[in-house]
Amino acid sequence: MILSASDIGLLISSTLTYAAPLIIAGMGSIMSETSGVVNIGIEGQMTIGAFTCAAVSVLTGSPWIGLLGGALAGAFFGCLHALASITFKADQTISGIAINLLAPGASIYFCKAIFTGSTQTRPVELSGKLPVVLGKLFPAESFLNYTLKNYVSVYFCILLAVFIWFLLFKTRLGLRIRSVGEHPRAAATLGISVFRVRYFCVILSGILAALGGAVIPLSTVSYFFPSIISGQGFIAIAAVIFGKFKPKNTVLACLLFGFCKSLSLTLGNPKFGFSVSTHLLNMIPYIITLLVLLFIGRSHAPAASGKIYDPAGG
């Protein structure tokens, strides 16, 4: 198989497209983990974000109002996780599992209620999808046009990763977040409100996870359906672990998973002459996820990650 320049450009472009939701959700996971709260509810939060965004975009015709709706839904489920795991000191893993069960159920319930019993939304009109940028900057058949012409979500996720890195490692707030995630009791003795910092990070985590899901019906597919996320939330969490809880490494891990997804679609293209089952090709990103986690070695989470903080000292 010989790939032309346009094929390589499309492969790179689709890699970026499929990696964008993972990067956005991964940044959310980093925020929560860095503050010391495990959030495995990313999958459910991506699902509710995808549904809310698709439904609002269909009803209003605006992708931006749709994204706002998705972000608010993610903030709500982030609040639920924060309330359970921080205020009521519930097990963070169990709380995350509950989010993963509750959010998809709520998505299907409201989808049926709004779209006359269907578990799928109506398709998002072309005017309701995210804009494609850099489409007129280069000649139509050039390599750069195939590579860089993409949805605005691709460039947003790159800027977001830079912002999260800057926030965590170059600002006073980032220092407070990291101190709360490593030694919450020591941070509290310096006057830092552990509860307030963790609430901020967990709610922001929910918002970003929901936005990660929200960009999917506005870019790669045009409507919501129950299996739209299909494990991408767990892949985003795996990317964060693979990336050792650092934004730059997580972006690289997400690009790897995005490349695997893009490669599976490329190999499934009849013009390349492969006769591989599409079911096997769709398994590639998940197989890579398992292999990466097997061979990455030990990844050190923040010291207080997953541990309940009790200001009374219990």
Residues 210/73, Cβ–Cβ less than 8 Å: yes
160-169 exposure pattern, b = at least 16 Cβ within 10 A, e = fewer: bbeebbebbe
Q: Mind listing the pLDDT tens digit for each residue in 35-53? A: 999 999 999 999 999 999 9
Domains and CATH numbers, the chain: 5-295 (1.10.3470)
Q: Mind listing the pLDDT tens digit for each residue in 91-149? A: 999 999 999 999 999 999 999 999 999 999 999 988 788 988 887 777 777 788 888 88
> Does residue 3 surpass a pLDDT of 80?
no
Q: Mind listing the pLDDT tens digit for each residue in 50-98? A: 999 999 999 999 999 999 999 999 999 999 999 999 999 999 999 999 9
Location of structure tokens 């050792």 = 244
Longest pairwise C-alpha distance within the chain: 66
pLDDT number for residue 118: 94
pLDDT number for residue 208: 97
> Does residue 217 surpass a pLDDT of 80?
yes
pLDDT number for residue 294: 73
Of 238, 236, 108, 247, the residue nearest 167 (C-alpha):
247
pLDDT number for residue 279: 73
> Does residue 190 surpass a pLDDT of 80?
yes
Does this model's pTM top 0.85? My answer is yes
Q: Whole-number mean pLDDT of the chain?
A: 89
Report d(CA 127, CA 57) in Å as an integer: 10
> Which residues touch 135 (CB under 8 Å, ≥6 apart)?
145, 149
